[in-house]
Each structure stands twice: as C-alpha cells, then as structure tokens.
Structure 1
C-alpha cells in the first residue's frame, strides 16, 4: 500500500509533563515524585502540524504514543483498499493500546487533525518502570480494562440501534465534545467528510447523506458544506440511543 511521506515534525517540545495543562485529565500522565522524574528521562515530546502522519498501519512501532495536545485520527485499510476511520483521539490518551509487546506493528495509520503535541515513550524502559512501580502498572491495567468494557458495551448497542439512532447519537456526541454555542443552536467545530461520519456511525455513505438530509428537513440540524449545526438538541436527543456509541477515544 502506498502512503504519502510523513512530513517532519515542527520541533521537539521542551514542555515538562508537570507543566502540561492536560496532565490531571489523564491517568497515564498524572504522576509525581520518582515516577514523574523517571518518565521524564524515557520520553520525548514532538509537535506536529495539521495533516502530518505520526505512523502508518503495518509499520513497526517505535514506542508508546500519548497525545498531549491537539487531536489525531486513526484510520485502517479495508479489504478494498479504502481507509476506514476508527477513532478520533483526544489529549491524555494512548493513541494505540496494543503496543506493549516486543515487535508490535501499528494496527492503524495516525494523522493529525490540528496542531498536536505527542509524547513518545521508550517501550522497553517504560515496561521496566512498570516492573519497579507496581501501582503504576495496576493503574494502567484498570484503565485499559475500563476501555475494553466500554468498547464491548458500545458494540452491543450498535447491534440494536437503527441507522437513524446511530447517526443521531454520533452527532450528539460530537456536539458534546466539539460543540460551540451559536445563536440558534450548537455548531460542531470538528468538520468531517460525509464518508468519515458514515464510518464512525457504521453506515454507508448513501444512508448517512440521506439521514442528514432528513434531519435537516425536520429542522433538527443545519448543513453548510461539512459544517453541521444542531438546531434543537433536546428533540434530537430524544431520537438517539441512551449510551452513545463512541468513536472518539
């Protein structure tokens, strides 16, 4: 599979984890004392421009990636050679969860959506740290376990939700995370292609376009190119599933 060459990052960041504004939001980063001091020695932080690639599906993983600032998207190739959007990752999260084993390969391609800062941990030295600080390892296991349970619950709900419920739930989740109040509703600041919305809602592009047009005809949303504004959040909420099938990590 052919990829565009990944542009060089802007620069290495000199930001210390202790000074990071997102540190307390992440269970992976909120450490003090000896753990914080040692983490500082096994990581480097890099700043990327929008549209740059951190890594590609199938390539060898060079370390563990934590998003400190910005947003990135994970995509994966389908059997037909198309790219499927798996998730949008927010600050404080591991970008991929499976890279602890020696010889791990990236399961997805990672591209920045905006100016982003990424902390890259040396895997071998991080595993050594986990061996010596048991409470860090326990916290990591608890975090990964919660995410696995949530993923199974979301899969169950997707199986029983209608196409309209899936799309409505996705729009509500995007509005909650990326919404900006406007005079007549909530504008979703994150602009996605129709194909990307379809992938996140596990629908065809044709069904997604049809449902968006129907929601607009019902005066529930307004479409302007890729920009989506939710006009009546309360009415839209009544049409979604109770637990949103999250496509955002």
Structure 2
C-alpha cells in the first residue's frame, strides 16, 4: 500500500519538500495494520522507527509508579508518533495502542537517514515537531498541576481540537471520545469529567453525548482555562 499525497501533506514531517520527494517517501515507508486494542509498542521497547497514521486512532500512554495508566494523547490520521527513537535511539518512553483498526506507515532509522541525505529539510522538520511537543508538555504539566477539574477538561478538549482530532462540523468539531477517555486525558475521574461536561453543555461550550463530544465554543473553553 502506497502513501498518497493528502497523507504526506497532512504530516509536518514533509513540510517544504518538493513534489518529487513523494516517490522517495513511498519507497522508504513500510505499511502495517493493527487490530483494535493491539499494542504497537510498549514503554521500554527498543525504538527504531517513527509511524505515520494512515487510518484509525492511536492512544499514547504510560504507567505511573503505582501502575495506573496515564493517557498522554489520542492521535488521528496524518499525525506521527515514535519520532524520538530516530533522534536518541533510546527505549520507548511511552506505550502506543490501536484504539480501533489502524493502518500505519513506518519509517525505520536507515530509511530515515536516507531521506535526510536527500532532503535535509526532513531533519529540520523533525526537530520542529520535537520542539513543539516539548512546549506542549511543559504547558500541560503546568495545567495539570495547578488547574482544577474544569480547567483540565477545557485544556484536554482544546488540545484535541488544535490537533484536528475528530471531524469538522457546521458548528465546530465532533470527537469520537468517551467520558472515560476524556477523563484519562485530563487526569481526573470519569464522574468528574461527566459532571464538567454537563456544565459545559449547559453553557453552550460543547454538545456532549455518551461516546462523542462536539466542541462548539473554543473561546469559551479558553475563558474557562484561564478563569476569565
């Protein structure tokens, strides 16, 4: 299965590359399919590849010292993950799991360096991706450390929205997300997430269903986050 142009355009890894780079990229990537719930890699595994999501959703998580899972992100088609392994060749720092049936394109270390030799912009793009995620992580630590539940839930929804998670609608963006999944992202309980979502629903910030949440008012969520 080959990569197609929309997938390449969605990935910041290929930003600024000339059209002829597409054929080289098609030869460099390998395609893999995972069943719902199947582990793609675990924290501590050797890392030799990054992955571009062609279809399906991927959950990124890790376990705390007490063994409790902390969900770091839900990723959509067009996004990449596992890229740190191409930089430091250290073991995986998190676990990646297929939420539903997932098709991935894997770029292994040797092929990555082959692309970099032809197109140095790829290495620059990867550095920008890592820098952006580091900034997000620093911001998230601050939010999860100091914000109350409403701020945490608002932040988690805004983060998903900015990463174009889900599908655009006439009113905003609809995300296939359960209350439990949102609670895991926000570092709170499912009961608390449901209570806060009901408040947001009444305020017109979101339209909350049992297995989907439609974000309607990002400015209103920003106001919640920064207590405006």
Tell me the TM-score normalized by structure 1. 0.70
Distance between the aligned counterparts of 2:172 and 2:19, measured in 1? 42
Matches within 5 A, 1:130-149: 130-149=116-135
Matches within 5 A, 1:222-233: 224-228=209-213, 233=217
1:241 aligns with 2:220: no
> Of residues 23, 26, 35 in structure 1, which corresponds to 2:8?
23
Tell me what 1:198 maps to: 183
- In structure 2, the gaps of 5 or more residues are none
8 Å contact from structure 1 (residues 56, 110) kept in 2: yes
| Matched positions, count | 223
8 Å contact from structure 1 (residues 28, 93) kept in 2: no
When residues 215 and 143 of structure 1 are mapped into structure 2, their CA distance, relative to the original with a 3 A threshold, is closer
* CA displacement, residues 51-87 of structure 1 (integer Å, 9 cap, x when unaligned): 3332222222242212233321112122222222111
Matches within 5 A, 1:1-249: 14-15=1-2, 17=3, 19-29=4-14, 31-32=17-18, 35-101=21-87, 103-171=89-157, 174=160, 177-178=165-166, 181=169, 188-194=174-180, 196-215=181-200, 224-228=209-213, 233=217, 236-237=220-221, 239-241=223-225
* CA displacement, residues 72-126 of structure 1 (integer Å, 9 cap, x when unaligned): 1112122222222111112333212311156532222212223332111121231
Distance between the aligned counterparts of 1:228 and 1:81, measured in 2? 28
- In structure 1, the gaps of 5 or more residues are 1-13, 243-249
CA radius of gyration, larger in: 1
Root-mean-square deviation (Å):
3.4
